[in-house]
Structure formats: C-alpha cells, structure tokens
Amino acid sequence: MTGSAYFMSTASSVTETHTLVVEVDNEPGVLARVVGLFSGRGYNIESLTVSETQHAEHVSRITVVTTGTRNIIDQIKAQLERLVPVHKVVDLTETGRALERELMLIKVRGKGDDRSEALRIAEAFRARVIDATVESFVFEITGKGEKLDQFVELMRPIGLVEVSRTGIAAIARGPNPL
C-alpha cells in the first residue's frame, strides 16, 4: 500500500443508521427542541417515538433512529447532550446489545380465497386480528421493521387498504439501565 491519500479508506463517508435514546425532562417544548436540532442542521429522522417513562420524576424517553456518517452521528450526540433538558444520550447501536421492535396496524380488504390467504399469512407472521368485518380485517403485528415490511408486501396483492406504524421502541439487553 502506498502513502497516497487516494488509497486511504473512505470509512468516514459511509452512511450508518443509529438508534439513539435521549432521556429528557417531560415538559412543554422539549420534543420541539430535539426535533428542531435535527431539522435545523439538516439531519434526517427515520423513526421517532416518545413517551414518559418515569412518571414520578417527569422524565420522558425519546428514541430516534437517524442516519449519517460517523462524524455526523457524533455531532448529533454531542449537540443533543448540550440541550438543557437532556439527562442522557445513549447510542444503542454502539452497544451492539439492543432490542428493537415496532408495532403496526394494517387493514386488509378481502373476500373468499383472499380472506383465507390473509388469515393464513397473518398466522405465519403471528399477527393478531383486532377487528374483522365481512369485507376486511385489521391486524396487529410487532417485530423488526424488516418483518413488518415483508408482511405489508404479502398483503398488498390481497387487498392492502391502510397501514399505521409506530416508531421503533428500543432497549438494551441485560440487567443494567441506560
């Protein structure tokens, strides 16, 4: 290998997807400030979920899935940590020990054989029927995003009507908190 810059690795320009957990005070305007940080700097949010997780302490957990180069991800984390109501920022992707799941509700129209096929596929994916009429079903399914995407694609030719998905909920494995 030569010492020329032309042969150096371009790893710094590789785009990565990261799941960040941000613990914040649950107060008005906090989510707007976090999202504003992303939009103001042109960072993309792939998924966003927010919920109060410590009621007595009024602490909420924001889970953000974002993409960028290693430098961009590091900038995002550093800028999030500087926001006043932020208690902690953890990059679950870096821990390598995260569990991630999404919830999806999906409405499928179908009669006769299509109806039977929709139920068969739902059973294979462990989707639950949460509403049924003589012409349609609403299924509830949880899992990794890829699983949900596959389910949608299989339901499309049967009679896909509508899809509603949550963002990713993520947690680190093991006994320790963030």
CATH number at residue 65: 3.30.70.260
Instruction: Judge whether residue 95 has pLDDT over 90.
Output: no
- For residue 62, what are the domain limits? 14-96
On average, the pLDDT of the chain sits at 92
- Phi first, then psi: give them for residue 119, nearest 5 degrees: -65, -40
Task: State the total domains in the chain.
Answer: 2
The CA distance from 146 to 161, in Å, is 20
Residues 6+ apart with CB under 8 A from 105: 130, 138, 139, 140, 163, 164, 165
Residues 121 and 151 sit within 8 Å (Cβ to Cβ): yes
Per DSSP, the three-state class of 84 is coil
Alpha-carbon distances of 73 from 67, 132, 170, rounded to whole Å: 7, 44, 18
Among the candidates 96, 123, 148, a domain finishes at 96
pLDDT in tens, 122-141: 999 999 999 999 999 999 99
pLDDT confidence tier of residue 11, bands split at 50, 70 and 90: low
Within a domain: 2 = no
Same domain? 80 vs 112: no
80-92 mean pLDDT: 95
Average pLDDT over residues 28-47: 94
